[in-house]
Structure 1
Amino acid sequence: MTGQAQDPSGEHHQIFGWPTIALFFAICLIYLAFLKPGIWGVDGNDMLYMSQSLIEKGNFSIPAGAGGIQGPDGQFYSIRYPLLPIVAMPFVWVGITVGNALNLPVQYTSATCGLVLNILLTAATAVLVYALTLRLGGERRGAFIATIGYAFGTAAMVYAREFFAEPLLAFIITLALYLAFGQSRWGHWGTGVLAALAIAAKPAGILLGPVIALYFLLRRCSWDRFLAPCIGTVAGVGLYLAYNYVRFGSITSSGQDTSQLGGDGFILRALGQWISPGSGGGMFWYCPPTILALVGLWVLWQRRKLEFVALFGIVASFWLLHSGWDFNGWNWGPRFLVPIIPALMVSVGLLGKRWRMPVIGLIVLGFLVNGPTLLTFYQRYFAEVADIDTDLLMQTVSLWSEPSQAPIFNVWAAAGRQLSDAFSTPVQEIINNVGQPPPLGQLSKAELLRIVAVWWWFLPAAGIPTWVGVAIALTMVSIGLWLLRISWLIGLKPPLRLQSSKIPF
């Protein structure tokens, strides 16, 4: 082993510079213009309840009847993961404060503010896609296009507006790769902390530490750097086992149905996560630019084999792990593979000039696929199917459902019906009925599925006309587009170098 690791990029790239700062704020502004006014779905609300409970009671419990499992202390606990609720606490606290001050439903205001966190995380991950592409030897134009593709041409745009753990895990993994591919000893040690946090974000994050450790071993780094992600993984497992004990009185009890883990149907799930348009699958359907990642990974293999091992190792390990999990649910595209989308888009960013027009075309296609979810809840379609027939719903949420039942081919029509309901339903009626269950057999009549799913739709409840919110949202989008242009123009300039540090910026 050698004590000094070499930077695989051949030069240092600043992660903080005018192009990346402009990119971050541009993506944030555009996302925030379409911020949701609430959370639909069990997973997201569970973690919101956990964050609220941490603020108000100092524990992870959720309300009785919210779908949790009763612990030995008599309180109910979610089977979800601890890190997102912990990190979201300041955002949720602001939402609770605003709701109480304006006499608005706290469940909505705390959810809206909590959702800001995943927007910030997704924008930060997009910046890391840019920086990581440069670190791997990509050109600035390719890095910029890959970043835009990640933010607006994949399912990352959809899950930035949901309160799920995947955006947080995507950020942790991408940051760990960025640090690992550098030469800083502190950065390499930092991958150990990230390996521990990845497990707290979601147990699947246990794959991060071993992949990074293998990379350090192959790169012939010093032993302390190799051990950092290993120790982080062990610490992360220990913290998660302690979390299990706090909830359920046993380190081995997580509340998850482990019977879903097995080899039956492995091949079909492995294929379906990439090519089936059904619920929970279809990476190439819901994230079209990732199709070209196959070429990008080959380019990376030709240029930097060790970095290929790490990048492909993350992609392959997450894919194979979830191929062994018999999942189903109200998922938009490959939800469980969202953490590897940044790695795929980094490989797309390494492609040369002749690939740029195909990449741009696929990004536009990806935006059209995911675009309806900017104004509506994608869950509206599943709710409509549930109102028709339970057996039909079970077919619809399966990975290999009939293509005609896939969400991707029905979202535009369902979005149109939700918008039609929104224009015929007074906002005050939604406010007055907050928390009320929909009529039996009419799940699509739930309050959040009958609105325009953006924050400014609720402004009349605070005495502010809707058009004011629309004007603010359009201004935010306009400024965001202007910042994207600024980032593109600055990024085209050749890097200046300081003789003392030789750092381009």
Structure 2
Amino acid sequence: MNVQGQDPSKELRPIFGLPAIALFLAVCLIYLAFLKPGIWGLDGTDMLHMSRSLIEKGNFSIPEGAGGIQGPDGQFYSIRYPLLPVMATPFVWVGLTVGNALNLPLQYTAGTCGLVLNILLTAATAVLVYGLTLRLGGQRRGAFVAALGYAFGTTALVYAREFFAEPLLGFIITLCLYVAFGTTRWEHWCTGLLAALAIAAKPAGILLGPIVAFYFLLKRYSWERVLAPCIGTVVGVGLYLAYNYVRFGSFTSSGQDTSQLGFDGFLLRALGQWISPGSGGGMFWYCPPTLLALGGLWVLWQRRKLEFVALGGIVAAFWLLHSGWAFNGWNWGPRFLVPIIPALMVAVGLLGKRWHMPAVGLIILGFLVNAPTLVVYYQRYFAELADESTAILMQTVSLWDAPPAQAPIFNLWAAAGRQLADAFSTPVQEIFSNVGAPPPPGQLVTSELLRIVAVWWWFLPVAGIPTWIGIAIALLMVSLGLWLLRYSWQTGLNPPIRLKSTQIDF
């Protein structure tokens, strides 16, 4: 396999110049054209409640009956994580302000605006994939393919439209790797701050600091640089313990069921997260471009062994950690591995030119796999199973118990058709009038958000604005986004780059 050497023009063109800015804006515009009109699901709703409570009451409590655990102060608290709700407060505040001004349901307007944060984070992560690929010696063409693949060919497309912590953790990890692979002291010191924030984003982020510190040690950097991510990890742990104490009056109580952590079923989960199409697994099914990451990691090993240890260590550590967690839930693909998808796509970006077209083909396949989630909630399929049979639902949310034909990946297109049929046969004003009303027992699919077109412009008639105006705006946003992608591609590769060629056997 031919792999091109480093681009000598990088000294003249900054990594984060106009091509990167255009890429960021393009991803944002295309994602925002399909912004969801609200949050559906326990995890996201919990964190939205936390953001609202920070604004309205100045604490992390959630409403009684919302699934939280009662603390010693009598209030109820979620078992979720603090950083995303804290960062989302400005967005949620805008949603509350708009909802109050237009007399719209606050849970919709606050949720819709809160979802903008994960869109921005995912777009920024795509840019970091671009930058990190270049920093590791990749070509601009490969870096662009990797960034495009991350944004549109993996489950990043899905989770950018959910209010979960994984996109935030993925952004922090990718940024930390980028600055860790830099050369300046301030970049290396920044890894300490990012190591602390990773834990606040999600406790699994505790893996980040030690791996970066080990990389610095192997690079024989000065001790203050080696200690920076270690100190950040200690500070992050301390802050999270304090967060536990605020909620539950105990430093060690997080509300999580630790009995799910163990080695029973470890090997099956380790394998299933990559190849099982079942709920919570199937990286290669739901994110087809990552199939090429193995070749990219080999290239990285040939070029920069120490950087391979850091990037590959992050991938392996998160994979093994979640292989020890007996997870089940309404997941679209390997949700817990979303934070390492950027690292995998960076590896794809390091492959030579002959691999770019296969990568593009896999990106298109990945887009088709995840595309239904642009207009519906992927939870619709799980809700249909819940209405049919609890036993069938529990079988489906497992990695290996359900037959492959029952996996979400093979059923969402049909479920999306049923949700869209409901949407076109139900006046949006009727759904608006029943906001917050719980569905009857055994009829979960009648929840208001599971029988709409899951985009913001579907609700415009409620505000007296015709739907076609929203569709026109969305089409304009997508068109401008595609134009910016083209501009990013052409600007990043023009004028032609003269490269020195090296050979790496694969």
Structure 2-normalised TM-score?
A: 0.96
Tell me the CA shift for residue 346 of structure 1: 0.2
Question: For 1:255-285, what per-residue CA distance to the aligned partner results, in whole angstroms no more than 9, with x for missing partners?
Answer: 0000000000000000000000000000000
Tell me the CA shift for residue 494 of structure 1: 4.6
**Structure-2 separation of matches of 1:99 and 1:199:** 33
AA at the equivalent of 1:281: G
Residue 414 of structure 2 aligns with which residue? 413
**Structure-2 separation of matches of 1:167 and 1:443:** 27
Q: Secondary structure at the match of 2:281?
A: coil
Q: Contact 2:15 / 2:134 at 8 angstroms: preserved in 1?
A: no
Question: For 1:389-427, what per-residue CA distance to the aligned partner results, in whole angstroms no more than 9, with x for missing partners?
Answer: 001100010011211110000000000000000001111
AA at the equivalent of 1:419: L
Residue 118 of structure 1 aligns with which residue? 118
Residue 488 of structure 2 aligns with which residue? 487
**Structure-1 separation of matches of 2:239 and 2:382:** 36
Matched, 1:370 2:370: yes
1:301-380 superposed matches below 5 A? 301-380=301-380
**Structure-1 separation of matches of 2:66 and 2:368:** 35
Tell me the CA shift for residue 196 of structure 1: 0.1
Residue 200 of structure 2 aligns with which residue? 200
Count of residue pairs brought into register by the alignment:
490
**Structure-2 separation of matches of 1:429 and 1:62:** 28
Q: Secondary structure at the match of 1:251?
A: coil
Q: Contact 1:387 / 1:441 at 8 angstroms: preserved in 2?
A: yes
**Structure-2 separation of matches of 1:68 and 1:495:** 57
**Structure-2 separation of matches of 1:113 and 1:183:** 38
Q: Secondary structure at the match of 1:385?
A: helix
Residue 223 of structure 1 aligns with which residue? 223
Cα gap change, 1:398/1:189 in structure 2, threshold over 3 Å: closer, same or farther?
same
**Structure-2 separation of matches of 1:448 and 1:14:** 44
Cα gap change, 1:495/1:228 in structure 2, threshold over 3 Å: closer, same or farther?
farther
Residue 435 of structure 1 aligns with which residue? 436
Residue 393 of structure 2 aligns with which residue? 393
Residue 500 of structure 2 aligns with which residue? none
AA at the equivalent of 1:323: S
Residue 504 of structure 2 aligns with which residue? none
**Structure-1 separation of matches of 2:234 and 2:163:** 27
Q: RMSD value over aligned CA atoms?
A: 1.3
1:122-133 superposed matches below 5 A? 122-133=122-133
Question: For 1:172-228, what per-residue CA distance to the aligned partner results, in whole angstroms no more than 9, with x for missing partners?
Answer: 000000000001111100000000000000000000001100110001111111000
Tell me the CA shift for residue 372 of structure 1: 0.3
Tell me the CA shift for residue 16 of structure 1: 2.6
**Structure-1 separation of matches of 2:248 and 2:384:** 36
**Structure-1 separation of matches of 2:463 and 2:457:** 10
Residue 47 of structure 2 aligns with which residue? 47
AA at the equivalent of 2:276: S
Residue 145 of structure 2 aligns with which residue? 145
Question: For 1:120-154, what per-residue CA distance to the aligned partner results, in whole angstroms no more than 9, with x for missing partners?
Answer: 00000000000000000000000001110000000
Q: Contact 1:122 / 1:151 at 8 angstroms: preserved in 2?
A: yes
Question: For 1:281-335, what per-residue CA distance to the aligned partner results, in whole angstroms no more than 9, with x for missing partners?
Answer: 0000000000000000000000010100000000000000000000000000000
Matched, 1:470 2:491: no
**Structure-2 separation of matches of 1:106 and 1:266:** 42
**Structure-2 separation of matches of 1:445 and 1:16:** 46
Tell me the CA shift for residue 439 of structure 1: 1.3
Question: For 1:103-123, what per-residue CA distance to the aligned partner results, in whole angstroms no more than 9, with x for missing partners?
Answer: 100000000000000000000
Question: For 1:325-376, what per-residue CA distance to the aligned partner results, in whole angstroms no more than 9, with x for missing partners?
Answer: 0000000000000000000000000000111111000000000000000000
AA at the equivalent of 2:405: S
Question: For 1:225-247, what per-residue CA distance to the aligned partner results, in whole angstroms no more than 9, with x for missing partners?
Answer: 10000000000000000000000
Q: Secondary structure at the match of 2:439?
A: coil
Tell me the CA shift for residue 495 of structure 1: 8.7
Residue 159 of structure 1 aligns with which residue? 159
**Structure-2 separation of matches of 1:193 and 1:92:** 25
Tell me the CA shift for residue 493 of structure 1: 2.0
1:241-280 superposed matches below 5 A? 241-280=241-280
Q: Contact 1:9 / 1:136 at 8 angstroms: preserved in 2?
A: no
Q: Contact 1:9 / 1:135 at 8 angstroms: preserved in 2?
A: no
Cα gap change, 1:84/1:261 in structure 2, threshold over 3 Å: closer, same or farther?
same
AA at the equivalent of 2:185: R
Tell me the CA shift for residue 9 of structure 1: 9.6
Q: Contact 2:7 / 2:139 at 8 angstroms: preserved in 1?
A: no
Question: For 1:436-463, what per-residue CA distance to the aligned partner results, in whole angstroms no more than 9, with x for missing partners?
Answer: 0011100011000000000000000000
Q: Contact 2:25 / 2:481 at 8 angstroms: preserved in 1?
A: yes
* Structure 1 portions without partners, runs of 5+: 1-7, 497-505
Q: Secondary structure at the match of 1:88?
A: helix
Q: Contact 1:288 / 1:362 at 8 angstroms: preserved in 2?
A: yes
**Structure-1 separation of matches of 2:124 and 2:71:** 36
Matched, 1:461 2:462: yes
**Structure-2 separation of matches of 1:97 and 1:201:** 26
Q: Contact 1:30 / 1:480 at 8 angstroms: preserved in 2?
A: yes
Question: For 1:66-112, what per-residue CA distance to the aligned partner results, in whole angstroms no more than 9, with x for missing partners?
Answer: 00000000000000000000000000000000000011000000000
Q: Secondary structure at the match of 1:154?
A: coil
**Structure-2 separation of matches of 1:476 and 1:390:** 41
Q: Secondary structure at the match of 2:332?
A: coil
Q: Secondary structure at the match of 2:263?
A: coil
**Structure-2 separation of matches of 1:424 and 1:103:** 25
Q: Contact 2:129 / 2:345 at 8 angstroms: preserved in 1?
A: yes
Residue 447 of structure 1 aligns with which residue? 448
Structure 1-normalised TM-score?
A: 0.96
* Structure 2 portions without partners, runs of 5+: 1-5, 498-506
Q: Contact 2:92 / 2:113 at 8 angstroms: preserved in 1?
A: yes
**Structure-1 separation of matches of 2:399 and 2:114:** 30
- Runs of 4+ in structure 1 displaced over 3 angstroms? 8-15
1:231-246 superposed matches below 5 A? 231-246=231-246
Q: Secondary structure at the match of 1:264?
A: coil
**Structure-2 separation of matches of 1:495 and 1:137:** 17
